[in-house]
Amino acid sequence: MEIFNFMKTAVKKLIILTALYTMIINAQAAQLAIVIDDMGYRSKEDAAILALPKAISVAIIPSAPNAKDINHKAKQQNRDILIHLPMQALGHHSIETGALKLGMDQGQVNNRIQTAKKIIPDAIGLNNHMGSAATADADLMHKLMKELKQQNLFFLDSRTIGRSVAGKIAKEQGIPSLDRHIFLDDSNEFSDVSHQFQSAIRYAQKYGMAIVIGHPRKNTIAVLQSGLKNLPKDIQLIGIGNLWRNEKVVPIKPFIFLFDGKPAPTSVEPFKRISLLRGIPE
């Protein structure tokens, strides 16, 4: 009995040490957050994205035909969801229904956000679809952030233009805000997407964190399917919400027994086999 109790205590201590080691390793890991934009249009590609690890966040365009369905499925997976709101671009680009445009008053902006939130009720944040003109306009961004605060939504600046003021104004108004670091698929070529994925890994390793935006496209999906299976050990995949909330994510890892599978017999007669004596229950 004394041997049995001793081994139980030893195993418990080993479990605790393993857990502490895991926490230390993950505390040092660089964080990688990936957001997939333009969700809601392509059923096959959207399904492939939802088959990726749930730490991959999805940004849904409210006017997309499958927006409500993607919101429902992503919510069931406990996946972070964003409203991917169309915003006015420079030049004469066509833009989806419900977009933010220069010159809108506060009521019009509020209506756009509230309508989008009804379609995508489980969104925790919002990022811009296009918006090179909108995100550089201080007046429009002040109005947007005022309503985001009312709706308790975070903000992710997709950084479609270098002179964006969106993130700066969000922070001034007390809204947790983040900026995109890497675009995965400005080019749809497999080699280019692969290069960008590796650039994201290096960026995270250098700066401790990388925010990546991609789209539900064939080669993007292929790169993610392969790349996420072979992430370096010093990279931790997390949801975008973990960054907004400044949360530490420590994945649960299975306890690995260090002993062989056969229990050892006791050294005192009668020589009974004690299941935990080698760490493995019979």
Cα separation, 185 vs 189, in Å, equals: 8
Mean of the per-residue pLDDT values of the chain: 87
The pLDDT value recorded for residue 280 is 42
Cα separation, 204 vs 98, in Å, equals: 34
The pLDDT value recorded for residue 267 is 59
The pLDDT value recorded for residue 93 is 82
3-state secondary structure of 87: strand
Ordered by start, the domain boundaries in the chain are: 33-244
Find where tokens 């392969």 sit: 226
Phi, psi of 142 (to 5 degrees): -60, -40
Cα separation, 275 vs 264, in Å, equals: 8
- The neighbouring-strand residues paired with 32 are 210, 237
Q: Nearest-5° angle of CA 84, CA 87, CA 89? A: 130
The pLDDT value recorded for residue 1 is 55
33-244, which class in CATH?
alpha beta
pLDDT above 50 (res 274): yes
Lowest mean pLDDT among 159-168, 199-208, 213-222, 269-278: 269-278
Cα separation, 20 vs 101, in Å, equals: 51
The pLDDT value recorded for residue 136 is 96
The runs of H, that is alpha helices, within 159-260 are 166-172, 190-207, 218-227, 240-244
Q: What is the pLDDT of residues 171-185, one digit of tens each?
A: 999 999 999 999 999
Lowest mean pLDDT among 1-5, 104-108, 274-278: 274-278
User: Residue 247 — very low, low, confident or very high, per pLDDT cuts 50/70/90?
Assistant: confident
Q: What is the pLDDT of residues 85-108, one digit of tens each?
A: 999 999 888 889 999 999 999 999
Its pTM stands at 0.80
Do residues 46 and 26 lie in contact, with contact meaning Cβ atoms separated by under 8 Å? no
Record the tokens describing residue 226, joined without a space: 């392969």
pLDDT above 90 (res 220): yes
